């Protein structure tokens, strides 16, 4: 089930080590690019709880999530 709230998800590529945990927790939202670093390919791809879990499981805290409309910081 995709989620309604519009999210702005950022992955810091100076930090991302390609651990790919985010992809395994929110499979529709994150995917590895050609450099094998994570990209938020579809910010609406998974329910918010799943996206938050993915961000929380990033071992290097590379993921930031905001509400795209209000700018509210949702993670970290």
Residues that bind another protein (CB under 8 A): 14-15, 17-21, 24, 35-36, 56-61, 76
Q: Which of 32, 28, 24, 33 is nearest to 56 (CA)?
A: 24
| CB of residue 34 to another protein, shortest distance in Å | 10
**Alpha carbons 55 and 16: distance in angstroms, whole number:** 12
Question: Of 24 and 70, which has the nearer Cβ to another protein?
Answer: 24
Question: Of 7 and 63, which has the nearer Cβ to another protein?
Answer: 63
Q: Which of 28, 33, 55 is nearest to 43 (CA)?
A: 28
Question: Of 9 and 52, which has the nearer Cβ to another protein?
Answer: 52
């Amino acid at each position: 089930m995709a989620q309604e709230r519009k999210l702005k998800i950022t992955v810091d590529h100076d930090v991302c080590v390609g651990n790919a945990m985010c992809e395994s927790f929110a499979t529709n939202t994150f995917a590895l690019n050609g450099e094998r670093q994570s990209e938020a390919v579809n910010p609406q791809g998974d329910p918010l709880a799943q996206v938050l879990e993915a961000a929380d499981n990033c071992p290097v805290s590379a993921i930031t999530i905001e509400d795209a409309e209000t700018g509210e910081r949702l993670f970290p």
